[in-house]
């Protein structure tokens, strides 16, 4: 590790929040005021940058800690673990996610959201997370205790640009 990089626990650089605990099945309401993100919404890449889920209404407004913002990182906790960057949201709706998703929000400019996504999606990181949570479930504490390396902002940007170029190359070759 170079001198400009430091090893930290994920919780030191990002707030981690569990999704909204729905007491029953999610009911779709066409004119609902809440956009609810489920695992299937994260896996659907055909919708473009705006993260759309199920429109619904809730009997009471959820606590603001559940609100998702542009720049947040959503980590799917199901059998297909993956980190996703929230690039855009519907402007007229409050957006939250279900309890099968964890929301990460960088605490400051020490770490970029894009870098967190690249880092969390690396095969070695994914294997470590899957090994660490095996049988224990996807508890917030497990993600919080994940040790990660944070390089300089310049190096984070370079890593993200490289990852973006590789992704584009893969898409072209498919």
Burial, 144: exposed, middle or buried (Cβ in 10 Å; 0-12, 13-18, 19+)?
A: middle
pLDDT digits (tens, 9 = 90+) for 66-93: 999 999 999 887 666 788 999 989 888 8
Mean pLDDT computed over 163-169: 80
CATH of residue 128's domain is 3.90.220.20
Compute the distance between CA of residue 85 and CA of residue 49 in angstroms, rounded to an integer: 9
Amino acid 22: pLDDT: 85
Q: Phi/psi zone of residue 137: left (φ > 0), alpha (ψ -120 to 50 degrees), beta?
A: left
Domain count, the chain: 1
Share above pLDDT 70 across residues of the chain, in percent, rounded to a whole number: 87
* Mean of per-residue pLDDT scores for the chain: 84
Which residues, in sequence order, are CB contacts of 5 under 8 Å at separation 6+?
Answer: 149, 150, 151, 152, 155
Give the model's confidence band at 136: pLDDT under 50 very low, under 70 low, under 90 confident, else very high.
Answer: low
Whether 59 maps to a domain, the answer reads yes
Whether 1 maps to a domain, the answer reads no
Amino acid 130: pLDDT: 72
Give the model's confidence band at 58: pLDDT under 50 very low, under 70 low, under 90 confident, else very high.
Answer: confident
pLDDT digits (tens, 9 = 90+) for 5-47: 899 999 999 999 989 988 777 888 888 889 999 888 887 655 5
118, 149 Cβ separation under 8 angstroms: no
Which residues, in sequence order, are CB contacts of 156 under 8 Å at separation 6+?
Answer: 111, 112, 114, 115, 150
56, 36 Cβ separation under 8 angstroms: yes
Whether 168 maps to a domain, the answer reads yes
Starting from the edge strand earliest in sequence, which strands make up the sheet with 101-106, in order?
A: 14-18, 101-106, 73-76, 82-85
Compute the distance between CA of residue 163 and CA of residue 116 in angstroms, rounded to an integer: 12
What global pTM score does this model have?
A: 0.86
Whether 126 maps to a domain, the answer reads yes
Amino acid 65: pLDDT: 92
What does the block give as tokens for 88?
A: 């855009």
Compute the distance between CA of residue 135 and CA of residue 127 in angstroms, rounded to an integer: 14
Whether 115 maps to a domain, the answer reads yes
Whether 134 has a pLDDT exceeding 70, the answer reads no
Whether 52 maps to a domain, the answer reads yes
Q: Which residue has the higher pLDDT, 157 or 52?
A: 157
Cβ-based neighbour number of residue 137 at 10 Å: 8
Whether 139 maps to a domain, the answer reads yes
Domain of residue 88 covers 6-173
Whether 63 maps to a domain, the answer reads yes
């Amino acid at each position: 590790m170079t001198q400009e990089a430091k090893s930290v626990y994920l919780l030191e650089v990002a707030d981690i929040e569990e999704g909204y605990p729905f007491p029953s099945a999610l009911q779709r309401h066409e004119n609902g005021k809440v956009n609810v993100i489920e695992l299937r919404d994260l896996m659907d890449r055909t919708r473009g940058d705006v993260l759309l889920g199920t429109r619904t209404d809730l009997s009471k407004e959820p606590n603001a800690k559940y609100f998702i913002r542009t720049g947040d990182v959503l980590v799917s906790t199901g059998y297909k673990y993956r980190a996703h960057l929230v690039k855009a949201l519907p402007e007229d709706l409050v957006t939250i996610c279900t309890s099968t998703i964890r929301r990460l929000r960088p605490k400051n400019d020490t770490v970029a959201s894009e870098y967190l996504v690249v880092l969390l999606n690396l095969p070695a990181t994914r294997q470590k997370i899957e090994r660490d949570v095996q049988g224990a479930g996807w508890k917030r504490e497990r993600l919080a205790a994940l040790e990660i390396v944070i390089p300089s902002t310049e190096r984070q940007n370079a890593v993200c640009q490289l990852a973006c170029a590789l992704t584009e190359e893969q898409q072209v070759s498919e």
